[in-house]
Chain A
Amino acid sequence: MNSGPRRQILDVGAFDVSDVRAGDETALADGILTINIEELEELLSADPDLAAVSVEIIRPGESVRVINAIDAVEPRIKVDPPGTDFSGLLTVPRLVGTGTTHALKGVAVVETALPVPGEPRYWREAVFDMAGPTAGYSPLSELIIVVVSCEPTTALLESEDRPTNVFEGTPEAVEYNKAVRLAGLKAARYLAETTLGKRPDRVDTYDLAPSPVNGLPAVVYLYQLAIPFLHGEIAPGAGAIGGAAHLPTPIHPNELLDGALVCGWNAIACMRELTYTVQNHAIIEDLYARHGKDVDFRGVVLFTNGDTRAAKERLANHAANLAIMMGAEGALINYAGGGHPAVDAMMICRNLERRGVTTTMLSMEMAANPGESGFVHFVPEADAIVSTGNYEETVLFEPVERVIGGDALIRIEEDPAGAFEAPLAIVMASTHQFGGTHIRGEEY
């Protein structure tokens, strides 16, 4: 009865998109994506948790600022096996990371949503510009963006419920945020449907087969999750929502690239784990590109953080165990941001180094003032760190002609179309933890 190939190979067919336009029919031709805006709005507005949804197209270089952004998604559709898009959210949980997926390259769907009562707002401010000095900070500024703006229902806007968990928000607010994310995922799949039956411009194959070259340095990637949906559930033990930390788990990198992991929470914008940055996970992409050449990529260990000393010790020991069990001689560790996670990531670094595994970490910095190192926590073993940028640096936003996503910023009391200064922290994915951008901090 054993008929399967015992392999997990993912082919991502890439369709390069040079422009996106509004038109009568949603279709892809000669690299130009045309969208029937009304049809897409109608599809997305069917959700009873949203009062209205509007769709706009914006391009790099346009004088536009997007505010109240929630997530970004690369338009993709599962061709084989079909019907497995965004496992656990648009479908029941499915095997993903295998078969064929089509992706529209150079495009992202970005949802915006007005904040509602009962919603944690402390970290929610999320902005990016398509032109001007701040455009260079967000990877989204280089893409053609299909903005899906969602409006909450009147009942939700007038709700006087107060959250029992301030990190999570009221159940209504949680439901609303999930509906917004689902709208983004549906739009992404809808747009990628235009590729069905077409030949991609190129195919990227992701195959974790044992390295054909012996003796290459064996590397495991230890991926600290913030708070994503993993197959539709908030990842066990993740961050502030999860309660007791679960043990780290090994996971096939193809699953992560193929829609199993979706942004599930409005973390600080600069470090928000955007679905787009997971679909195009820089560390996983780079390890795959070198697998069998100068790296023997052994796979991924997901971990979160404990909220007690005991939980952290358990988690950090187990993460190192898994990496060593997978044959790691070297390990890349990313830090998800925040207070607790810094301790867990550093403990794992220490455990691995003490057990003979060479480590390098990727970390954003938080140095606001003279005399601040920007570290939450460190161990002496963390002597090799790649900086993904100092998110406390103040950046100047210049006036823009148009703002999408609302009339007001959340914590910044300035005209959203005007000039203002703010920390880089509010710019979407600007210092994100996978090192997908070119920014870094340096001492001066």
Chain B
Amino acid sequence: MARIVHYLNQFFGGLGGEDQAGMGPVSEPGPVGSGRGLTRFLEGEDRIVGTVIGGDNYMAQGGSRAVDEAIGLIAGFDPDVVVAGPAFGSGRYGLACGAVCKAVIEHLGVPAVTGLHPDSPGAADYRAWVPTLATAETAAGMGTALERLAHLASRLGRGEELGSAAEEGTLTKGLRRNTFEGLRGSTRAIEMLLTKMRGEPFATEWPLPRYEPAEASEPITTGAPFRLALVTEAGIVPAGNPDRLPSGWATDWMRYPIQDREGFAEGEFESVHGGIDTSFANQDPDRQVPLDAARSMEQVGRLSLHPELLSTTGNMGTLRDMTRIGAEMGRALIADGVQAVIVGST
């Protein structure tokens, strides 16, 4: 018999709607809400020994502390396997399911599985670590999803390894590994070209990444001084890099006060970007981030400058980390009333 713990949000846990989204995680013995449906499809003596319910906002805003609270409650049931969701295409709930499952696998050493729509944010962020059943976009797909999740949970509970994504109906991890083909690459390329020229279906071996389209904002046309912020991914930091901003693979960003500066003097700021020749940026950091020019426009009343430089290193940054960093910077600047940003890029 496998002991299963089920993670749900407040809505599917039957504790309320958006009004209860701020609730911290709570636990209840046995199955709750959609867990009762899950129970029907479990194999043999497998059963849900407990349910942990977290509010969408609490989990989304609470970071690792909120996840730790949920994990503590889950561990209290001594599970053999943890099921989260299914959360379908939902944003906050899906992210919480992913974060909880990843923490269960890494910190409790217990297998976990969730169900998410392939295009959901939780899938994008956690598919590399968490076995994720591909579900419909809405809860209309609940019946099928519960049956298949129960099946996966029972197998994980028995200690089985899951097969490939295609076999299991799970999402690929989104990682690339090497394999060997019967035909060599040059021969496959000619076949692909001729197939494409005939107008027949062909499958690229390396699908292009899908980027969210970025809509350009409306231009600022009021003529009144506007609020401008300076941002860079060139790794511009105070000399000596006191916060140890990495030269590549950055996962965080920095704020540096610039309100007392007319410009960036050589020797006081520098670039730690590991992917470019930084000598020009180090000689005159204003040519990487135009503080001197922005300040002179501020002095004639064209704009008002945000008091901080927001800086990270774009070199080798993953799309996921850079998307998050961009969103975090954007939220911070909008909260400060910033209307426009210049990104000194590399």
Interface residues of A, Cβ cutoff 8 Å to B? 136, 217, 219, 282-283, 285-287, 290, 294-295, 329-332, 339, 358-363, 365, 367, 369-375, 378, 380, 382-390, 393, 424, 434-444
- Min Cβ gap A284→B in Å is 9
Residue contact B185 to A436, C-beta cutoff 8 Å:
yes
Q: Which residues of A contact B172 (CB under 8 A)?
A: 443-444
Residue contact B177 to A390, C-beta cutoff 8 Å:
yes
Residue contact B186 to A436, C-beta cutoff 8 Å:
yes
Q: Return the contact of B206 from the options A136, A217, A365 (Cβ within 8 A).
A: A365
Q: Which residues of B contact A441 (CB under 8 A)?
A: 176-179, 205-206
Q: Which residues of A contact B185 (CB under 8 A)?
A: 282, 362, 386-388, 434-440
Inter-chain CA distance A359–B165, complex, in Å, is 30
Contact digits for B266-308, partner A, Cβ 8 Å, 1 yes 0 no: 0000000001000000000000000000000000000000000
Q: Return the contact of A443 from the options B175, B183, B184, B318 (Cβ within 8 A).
A: B175
7 contacts between A and B (CB under 8 A): A217-B194, A362-B189, A365-B206, A370-B129, A378-B208, A436-B186, A444-B165
Q: Which residues of A contact B190 (CB under 8 A)?
A: 219, 283, 286-287, 290, 295, 332, 360
Q: Which residues of A contact B196 (CB under 8 A)?
A: 330, 358, 360, 384
- Chain B interface, number of residues (Cβ within 8 angstroms): 41
Q: Which residues of B contact A393 (CB under 8 A)?
A: 176-178
B43 an interface residue at 8 Å Cβ cutoff?
no
Residue contact B178 to A424, C-beta cutoff 8 Å:
yes
Inter-chain CA distance A426–B275, complex, in Å, is 20
- Taking CB atoms and an 8 Å cut-off, the chain B residues in 162-209 that contact chain A are 164-165, 172-190, 192-194, 196-197, 202, 204-209
Residue contact B175 to A384, C-beta cutoff 8 Å:
no
Q: Which residues of A contact B208 (CB under 8 A)?
A: 373, 375, 378, 380, 382-383
B147 an interface residue at 8 Å Cβ cutoff?
no
A387-B186 contact given A439-B178, A440-B181, A441-B178, CB 8 Å threshold: no
Residue contact B186 to A434, C-beta cutoff 8 Å:
yes
Residue contact A358 to B179, C-beta cutoff 8 Å:
no
Residue contact B197 to A217, C-beta cutoff 8 Å:
yes
Q: Which residues of A contact B331 (CB under 8 A)?
A: none
Inter-chain CA distance A287–B189, complex, in Å, is 10
Inter-chain CA distance A435–B165, complex, in Å, is 27
Q: Sorted from nearest, which 10 A-B pairs have the closest CB atoms?
A: A435-B185, A370-B128, A435-B186, A282-B186, A371-B320, A373-B209, A360-B193, A371-B318, A367-B176, A387-B205
Q: Which residues of B contact A387 (CB under 8 A)?
A: 185, 205-206
Q: Which residues of A contact B318 (CB under 8 A)?
A: 369-372
Residue contact A438 to B183, C-beta cutoff 8 Å:
yes
Q: Return the contact of B193 from the options A332, A389, A437, A443 (Cβ within 8 A).
A: A332
Residue contact B205 to A372, C-beta cutoff 8 Å:
no
A437-B184 contact given A330-B197, A358-B193, A370-B128, CB 8 Å threshold: yes
Inter-chain CA distance A363–B189, complex, in Å, is 10
Q: Which residues of B contact A434 (CB under 8 A)?
A: 185-186
A438-B205 contact given A373-B319, A384-B196, CB 8 Å threshold: no
Inter-chain CA distance A283–B181, complex, in Å, is 16
Q: Which residues of A contact B68 (CB under 8 A)?
A: none
- Min Cβ gap A217→B in Å is 5
Interface residues of B, Cβ cutoff 8 Å to A? 128-129, 164-165, 172-190, 192-194, 196-197, 202, 204-209, 249, 275, 318-321
A219-B190, A371-B320, A441-B205 are known; give 18 further A-B pairs, CB within 8 A: A282-B187, A330-B194, A360-B192, A362-B189, A363-B206, A370-B129, A370-B173, A373-B319, A375-B206, A380-B208, A382-B208, A437-B184, A437-B185, A440-B180, A442-B177, A442-B178, A443-B172, A443-B175
Q: Return the contact of B205 from the options A358, A385, A424 (Cβ within 8 A).
A: A385
Residue contact A385 to B206, C-beta cutoff 8 Å:
yes
Q: Which residues of A contact B181 (CB under 8 A)?
A: 438-440
Inter-chain CA distance A370–B177, complex, in Å, is 11
Inter-chain CA distance A217–B178, complex, in Å, is 31
Inter-chain CA distance A386–B164, complex, in Å, is 22
Q: Which residues of B contact A295 (CB under 8 A)?
A: 190, 194
Inter-chain CA distance A144–B9, complex, in Å, is 63
Residue contact B178 to A360, C-beta cutoff 8 Å:
no
Residue contact B319 to A371, C-beta cutoff 8 Å:
yes
Q: Which residues of A contact B180 (CB under 8 A)?
A: 136, 438-440
Residue contact B178 to A440, C-beta cutoff 8 Å:
yes
Q: Which residues of B contact A294 (CB under 8 A)?
A: 194
Inter-chain CA distance A285–B209, complex, in Å, is 32
Q: Which residues of B contact A369 (CB under 8 A)?
A: 249, 318
Q: Which residues of B contact A378 (CB under 8 A)?
A: 208-209
Instruction: Report the nearest A residue to B275, measured CB to CB.
Output: A339
Residue contact B319 to A440, C-beta cutoff 8 Å:
no
Q: Which residues of B contact A373 (CB under 8 A)?
A: 208-209, 319
Interface-central residue, A375, A386, A440, A444, by most chain B CB under 10 Å: A386
Inter-chain CA distance A380–B204, complex, in Å, is 12
Q: Which residues of A contact B321 (CB under 8 A)?
A: 371
- Min Cβ gap A397→B in Å is 15
- Min Cβ gap B182→A in Å is 7
Q: Which residues of B contact A282 (CB under 8 A)?
A: 184-187
Inter-chain CA distance A387–B178, complex, in Å, is 10
- Min Cβ gap A336→B in Å is 15
Q: Which residues of A contact B176 (CB under 8 A)?
A: 365, 367, 374, 390, 393, 441-444
A435-B188 contact given A367-B175, A372-B319, CB 8 Å threshold: yes
Inter-chain CA distance A241–B189, complex, in Å, is 30
Q: Which residues of B contact A388 (CB under 8 A)?
A: 185
Residue contact A442 to B179, C-beta cutoff 8 Å:
yes
Q: Which residues of A contact B209 (CB under 8 A)?
A: 373, 375, 378
Inter-chain CA distance A387–B202, complex, in Å, is 14
Residue contact A283 to B189, C-beta cutoff 8 Å:
yes
- Min Cβ gap A104→B in Å is 22
Inter-chain CA distance A382–B183, complex, in Å, is 21
Residue contact B205 to A386, C-beta cutoff 8 Å:
yes
